[in-house]
Structure 1
Amino acid sequence: MTTNPSVYKDRVDALIQKSVYISRDLSWLQFNHRVLDQAKNKKRNVLEQLKFIAITASNLDEFFMVRVGSLYNYIDYDKQRLDYSGLREDPFRATLLEQLQELVQDQYSFYLSDIAPKFPENNFSISNIEDLTENERTSANEYFLKTVFPMLTPMVSDAYHTFPMLMNKLLCFGVVTKEIEDGKENNKLSFVQIPQNLPRFYEIFREDEMVFVPIESIIKANIDKLFRNVSITSVNLLRITRNGDYTLEESEDLETDFIDEIKRKLKTRKTGRVVRLEVEPNANKWMMQYLSSKWDIDGYNVFEVPALIDFTCIWQIVNHSAFKYHMPSSKKPVTPITLRFDDTEDNIFNIFKERDVLLHHPYNSIEPLLKLIEAAAEDPNVLAIKITIYRVAKDSRITNALYKAAENGKHVSVLFEIKARFDEENNIREAKRLQDAGCFVIHGIGYLKTHTKMLLIVRKEGDKVTRYVHMSSGNYNEDTSRLYTDIGFITTKEIYAHDVSEFFNAITGHSNPQKYDYLLTAPISMRTDLISLIRQEAKNAKAGLPSGIIVKVNSLQDDKFIDALYKASQAGVPIKLIVRGICCLRPSRKGLSENIEVKSIVGNYLEHSRIFYFHNNGDPKVYGGSADAMVRSFDRRIESLFLFVDEKCKKETMTILDYSLRDNVNTYIMQEDGTYIKPEINNEKPFDAHKEFYKLSEDAIKDVTLF
């Protein structure tokens, strides 16, 4: 007896809606829909729209490699998995990939109907070789013969040749040919992989237009030069995505070379199982059956792409020098509120010694922090520098300063997290460079990822030692500081310095501090500490006292944390959540979460700051830091949140929450079913937090109230 597909789907949908949690992966799909909605914004010019199309494509690549790859780790090795949606592995796979198909269809449909038609009026086009003039075709063909042709290597798959190992995320032609063997006509499949170091587009400059010719169009037009005297049946462009998820197991073998283990894991990304096949429409049926069998995939994994395969290639157009004036110019950062006074002091140490400073990026430049680290590298009174690094810029001023400090004889300790996903190779390279300079480099802590962002500078000043502390929600990366919204906090207060010193000793050695005064740390106690703060708000509400919780994070997924919020909501605590991406909490459900509101802010900047606010009966406790409310953050990462005690810094942090809640331009409101709607502004005055923070005044932070 077979089940009616519509009945089966109804049962799956009912099970999903019954769950008190939203699936992490289905919630992520909703996030990428919000990113795609940025491309649909009619106020954006065509290059801005293309930028967001490219971002959605990059997001999808990572999602398939990591999250879909992780799902297949369960399916391929016959391990059970129960998703937050209430679904087991196979029905969840079907649901997830169906929704991914819908997202991709939406992505390409909008590109073809709304974006591509605008190219001519913006003086450029994406054209196949057939659409060029005769002279232009001659030029493109010469480019093929001189540059492209020597790089191409046809790889046949037959009884005499092993099946080639196609590279992850690279464009490839599947070429089906015919030959007669023993009087029978047989198909043969060959692959021609397009080298990754070739530009995706061949550029032609016309008098009033730039023409971008996809490299695959040029190769396809000349494919016969690779298969001379062979009967070609079909030529189809395709691209595979492989499982890029891996888990480092904790090893008790102290002799294991941790770096080599990471390098071995990185290699599996090139050979991991195929989780997605993107292909042109109407591809050769025999080839598709052959590949589906070879890679153990089915129709759910096959994505027919009606236009450019791999929209990340659009960055070549968006970032082209010919269009640099078409993209909105970056606003000039403003002086931080906590540094706004008439100060002629040249010594940067004296400036930070006088007051706590809050940096809010990108509205405030990262320059004060960079100057502090660079000054520390050169200052003869600086004795030591300790820092945790997760991701750095390609040409990092920070690692350059650490290198210089070590050369100058200072003690430099760097906890370099080489397991930062997709940045491992750059981190390994930079860590080796620092180690060669004499830095004490620690490559992560076993199976834990060091995600906390901390800097400690020890400086001798007269007959005493002052410790300069920086803690942040963002990476020590000057490039992303211009694109991500983050908070950074600089202080010389002794209690912070003591906490941070103790924390460094704990994560680099065997120290086990009993308590911290101003830090919440993971994996030891962050979850329980945060839940205690939530429970206190619930107690206050039950006692008739003022209460309230506001949390701003990238992702909210930990079920124990969510359960605590549900109970606080039921106790009458008003709860406002600002969650950029994944949110597994189900808001506004009767009897469960009626007092919880969830919004997401998606716009020109990537929201990255994490802030936790607890009303505390009118004496707010406000924490900032690097941790999201996720299982991995609480259990599998070294994380920290720091308490704001300086009144001015606390007020500014509360203003960040206030402006985020007031934003009605970049805002999406989460519904009980996990979908999001963009609220209508109507007669309400537009409030764009990404613009208003540039205008932030001292009066605004003095008057801030949240409940």
Structure 2
Amino acid sequence: MGKKTVVPQNVFLGRDESWLSFNRRVLEEAQDEQNPLLERVKFLSITASNLDEFVEIRVAGILQRIEDGAIEPGPDGLTPQQALDSLTENMHAFIAEQYECWNRRLLPALNTAGVRVLNWDQLDENAREAATSFYQREVDPLLTPITIDPAHPFPRVLNKALCLALLLRLKRRSSAGPVLGVLTVPRALPRFVPLPSTDGTHDFLYLPNLIEQHAASMYRGYEILSRAAFRVTRNSNLYFQEEESRSLLETVRGELHNRRKGDAVRLEIESDAAAEVIERLRTNFELDESQVYRTPGPVNLSRLMNLYSDTPRPDLKFAPFTPRELRLNRKSADLFDEIRHRDILIHNPFDSYDGVAGFIESAAQDPRVISVRQTLYRTSADSPMFQALIEAAQDKEVTVVVELTARFDEASNIRWARNLEDAGVQVFHGIVGLKTHCKMALLVRRDPDGVVRRYAHLGTGNYNPNTARFYTDLSLLTADPEITASVQNVFNYLTAHSESDDYGPLLVAPLTLAESLIRLIQRETEHAQSGKPARIIAKMNSLLEHSIIDALYAASQAGVEIDLIVRGICALRPGVKGLSDNIRVRSIVGRFLEHSRIYYFANSDAEEIYCGSADWMPRNLFERCEVVFPIRDAQIRSRLRNEILAAYLADTEKTRLLQSDGSYLRLREMRDKQQTAFDSQQFLIQVAEGKASESNIPASAQSTARIPAEARAKATVRRPRAKKA
């Protein structure tokens, strides 16, 4: 008998630790001197925004379970208290890295580049006068000073609102103990106040610094002993029972109000704050010491995004590029004529989003279009599609399914739902208990030949032209009769809960998607066991579902070569002998947020490729309505396989390889010096500009992407042992 393979006791990596690891990869981009300086500032801002959401949702959820008495271990083997302790330690370490990046790397580099964040005592007379004028004109009228005493209880500090705490002592009663003063800084004010400069620099003053200089005028009769900016993060989970609600819209509105007043879960405060100030705040918000985060710099790093947007220095940002416009065949009379003859794939941001927007806008403008149906998860206030839906409702049947509970977009979605209803659009909110996360639109049109046809858009991303500029997403425009008929069935499911026996060729969650994916993986397993070509390439945001991971482990053990491109959370352990030897997991974090989902199955010699809105997570597979669609056009399949997936597998600059212990190693630091550097996103920009093609992808990576399992995917990437934590 051969030696028995020993696999880790826990074959799944922890979700929250994996997420923190992802945010560290974003922080690496802020630390990376090869990125333009202001882009590095932007990446640091994104890490802070990411962490805010993580604390108010994930950490708050763990605290809630602990308060409810939960002691059962999670999938990673940790009890809620153990998970919280581990996360807290890691978050404190991560925040120290953030401020080290800001104070020791970015701030000095910005100063050298002529973008200066100054203190009050660094301002010349001209800048002080301008700052004071701004304070008197824009800031002072919005501030309400509060002193905490028996007649004035502690104010209700809103979630993530920037505040100033001041330790005060009455001048007339110097023997009396100090009291606490609190100022809430309105969100409408910029956190970095632009200043005039005479030497060509771009100068800013941190807003709390400006307010501190004028605090004495608001607290006359007091001596200010100490002052510090602080911010409180609150539990932002929505808690409501949809079944008991007469109106989901009204319930969500009510819970949004409650969210702003949820229990405190984190206190951020300047590290030089007086101990007495910190203790008074900690006690008031009922926080443990471990929930206090002392910041040696601006309390809210996410507002560094203002520096990025308010500094007109294109030389310190990524070079702009022009997305490729959708070109119609010369023989096509219009977009619909084009779609009747061929499916169209749009890859944002490399292809112009006008192709997607134009599809919806055509529905409003074309008198031959009879009806429009569309889902909306997140969009923008100035979305041309939103206006197109309102215009179309004037003379067409328009139905929109709006997801009210899209996290942190609930308020805007409520407004859009009401505006659409006022315009005559039939608005639905999907199925009780399920989020509507699928991205699809269906137009019914009487074509010039008299035939009534369906035209569909199916996508991996939201109907949002703003995020389409920096999210990578895929869209399919098709008139395929089977696909469009299935899209109509999905809409019937959303508006009438009318379930069909078969949604094929679409894979639809929560009805058929999970079992279909497992069946596709098992089919590759059977092919490998039979000696047939078998290969899986899957690109997604997150991988958590254990049944999917188990199927991938089984496929690996059968000899299926598996490449997973997982941007964020990944619970699968790759490279474990006897368990996942044939699985490689890479994460790509770069200029654009990787958001597209692509699923490739070699299927012997009859490959299948799917795209869609769903990650391989429990919530996507079982708690949301999701749609994954097949790519039937051979040319589009070739583009996805040989251009897009091949580029991601060839990336050496923005790729990190997941190790079996959960750590990530950056490929750029591992590749041979002779190996050609290859940035997948930059390559795709060059493709859009007509400066590159798939022939420019390194041959080794092309073979890895194209050749199925019989070639055993000869790897060109060195995979050293994971370093000890």
Q: Which residue of 1 aligns with 2:221?
A: 229
Separation in structure 1 between the aligned mates of residue 106 and residue 664 of structure 2, nearest angstrom: 24
Separation in structure 1 between the aligned mates of residue 190 and residue 325 of structure 2, nearest angstrom: 40
Contact map agreement 2:540 2:566 (CA 8 A) in 1:
yes
Separation in structure 1 between the aligned mates of residue 694 and residue 478 of structure 2, nearest angstrom: 20
Q: What does 1:439-458 align with in structure 2 at a 5 Å threshold?
A: 439-458=425-444
Q: Which residue of 2 aligns with 1:484?
A: 471
Q: Which residue of 2 aligns with 1:424?
A: 410
Of 457-466 and 135-144, more deviation after overlay is shown by 135-144
| SS of the residue 2:153 aligns to | coil
Q: Which residue of 1 aligns with 2:105?
A: 114
Q: Which residue of 2 aligns with 1:290?
A: 280
Q: Which residue of 2 aligns with 1:528?
A: 515
Of 550-559 and 510-519, more deviation after overlay is shown by 510-519
Residue number among 312, 318, 338 corresponding to 1:328 in the alignment: 318
**In the TM superposition, what is the alpha-carbon distance from 1:569 to its structure 2 partner?**
1.4
Per-residue Cα deviation, 1:590-619 (whole angstroms, up to 9, x for no partner): 222111110001100110111111121121
Contact map agreement 2:329 2:338 (CA 8 A) in 1:
no
Q: Which residue of 1 aligns with 2:47?
A: 56
Of 21-30 and 290-299, more deviation after overlay is shown by 290-299
**In the TM superposition, what is the alpha-carbon distance from 1:405 to its structure 2 partner?**
0.4
What TM-score do you get using the length of structure 2 for normalisation?
A: 0.91
Measured on the aligned residues, the alpha-carbon RMSD in Å equals 2.2
Unaligned runs of 5+ in 1: 1-15
| SS of the residue 1:616 aligns to | coil
**In the TM superposition, what is the alpha-carbon distance from 1:498 to its structure 2 partner?**
1.1
Residue number among 243, 262, 267 corresponding to 1:277 in the alignment: 267
Separation in structure 2 between the aligned mates of residue 604 and residue 706 of structure 1, nearest angstrom: 29
| Partner amino acid, structure 1, of 2:654 | N
| 2:200 is aligned with 1:213 | no
Q: Which residue of 1 aligns with 2:717?
A: none
**In the TM superposition, what is the alpha-carbon distance from 1:403 to its structure 2 partner?**
0.6
| Partner amino acid, structure 2, of 1:669 | L
Separation in structure 2 between the aligned mates of residue 102 and residue 165 of structure 1, nearest angstrom: 30
Contact map agreement 1:64 1:275 (CA 8 A) in 2:
yes
Q: Which residue of 2 aligns with 1:37?
A: 28
Q: What does 1:87-106 align with in structure 2 at a 5 Å threshold?
A: 87-106=78-97
Contact map agreement 2:127 2:197 (CA 8 A) in 1:
no
Contact map agreement 1:662 1:687 (CA 8 A) in 2:
yes
Q: Which residue of 2 aligns with 1:7?
A: none
Q: Which residue of 1 aligns with 2:247?
A: 257
Of 116-125 and 102-111, more deviation after overlay is shown by 116-125
Residue number among 588, 608, 617 corresponding to 2:604 in the alignment: 617
**In the TM superposition, what is the alpha-carbon distance from 1:74 to its structure 2 partner?**
1.1
Q: Which residue of 2 aligns with 1:657?
A: 645
Contact map agreement 1:180 1:186 (CA 8 A) in 2:
no
**In the TM superposition, what is the alpha-carbon distance from 1:629 to its structure 2 partner?**
0.3
Q: Which residue of 2 aligns with 1:366?
A: 353
Contact map agreement 1:173 1:237 (CA 8 A) in 2:
yes
Aligned residues: 686
| SS of the residue 1:588 aligns to | coil
**In the TM superposition, what is the alpha-carbon distance from 1:369 to its structure 2 partner?**
2.2
Residue number among 662, 680, 705 corresponding to 1:674 in the alignment: 662
Q: Which residue of 2 aligns with 1:705?
A: 706
Contact map agreement 1:485 1:609 (CA 8 A) in 2:
yes
Which ranges of 4 or more aligned residues in structure 1 deviate by more than 4 Å?
179-184, 696-704
| 2:176 is aligned with 1:188 | no
Separation in structure 2 between the aligned mates of residue 182 and residue 219 of structure 1, nearest angstrom: 25
* Closer/same/farther in 2, CA of residues 657 and 529 from structure 1, 3 Å limit: same
Separation in structure 1 between the aligned mates of residue 103 and residue 72 of structure 2, nearest angstrom: 38
Q: Which residue of 2 aligns with 1:177?
A: 168
* Closer/same/farther in 2, CA of residues 473 and 379 from structure 1, 3 Å limit: same
Separation in structure 2 between the aligned mates of residue 264 and residue 153 of structure 1, nearest angstrom: 26
Residue number among 570, 575, 589 corresponding to 2:562 in the alignment: 575
Separation in structure 2 between the aligned mates of residue 369 and residue 40 of structure 1, nearest angstrom: 35
Q: Which residue of 1 aligns with 2:231?
A: 239
**In the TM superposition, what is the alpha-carbon distance from 1:303 to its structure 2 partner?**
1.0
Separation in structure 1 between the aligned mates of residue 382 and residue 401 of structure 2, nearest angstrom: 19
Q: Which residue of 2 aligns with 1:5?
A: none
Separation in structure 1 between the aligned mates of residue 272 and residue 196 of structure 2, nearest angstrom: 33
Separation in structure 2 between the aligned mates of residue 485 and residue 706 of structure 1, nearest angstrom: 25
**In the TM superposition, what is the alpha-carbon distance from 1:285 to its structure 2 partner?**
2.0
* Closer/same/farther in 2, CA of residues 479 and 706 from structure 1, 3 Å limit: farther
Residue number among 183, 202, 214 corresponding to 2:193 in the alignment: 202
Residue number among 559, 562, 584 corresponding to 1:597 in the alignment: 584
* Closer/same/farther in 2, CA of residues 72 and 469 from structure 1, 3 Å limit: same
Contact map agreement 2:37 2:317 (CA 8 A) in 1:
no
| 2:445 is aligned with 1:459 | yes
Contact map agreement 2:236 2:259 (CA 8 A) in 1:
yes
* Closer/same/farther in 2, CA of residues 437 and 706 from structure 1, 3 Å limit: farther
| 2:312 is aligned with 1:308 | no
**In the TM superposition, what is the alpha-carbon distance from 1:699 to its structure 2 partner?**
7.4
**In the TM superposition, what is the alpha-carbon distance from 1:690 to its structure 2 partner?**
0.8
**In the TM superposition, what is the alpha-carbon distance from 1:432 to its structure 2 partner?**
1.2
Q: Which residue of 2 aligns with 1:472?
A: 459
Per-residue Cα deviation, 1:400-452 (whole angstroms, up to 9, x for no partner): 11111001x10001001111111111111112111111111102321211000
| Partner amino acid, structure 2, of 1:661 | L
Separation in structure 1 between the aligned mates of residue 171 and residue 126 of structure 2, nearest angstrom: 39
Per-residue Cα deviation, 1:48-107 (whole angstroms, up to 9, x for no partner): 211111111111111111111221221233334533321111121110011011111111
What TM-score do you get using the length of structure 1 for normalisation?
A: 0.93
| SS of the residue 1:319 aligns to | helix
Separation in structure 2 between the aligned mates of residue 531 and residue 154 of structure 1, nearest angstrom: 60
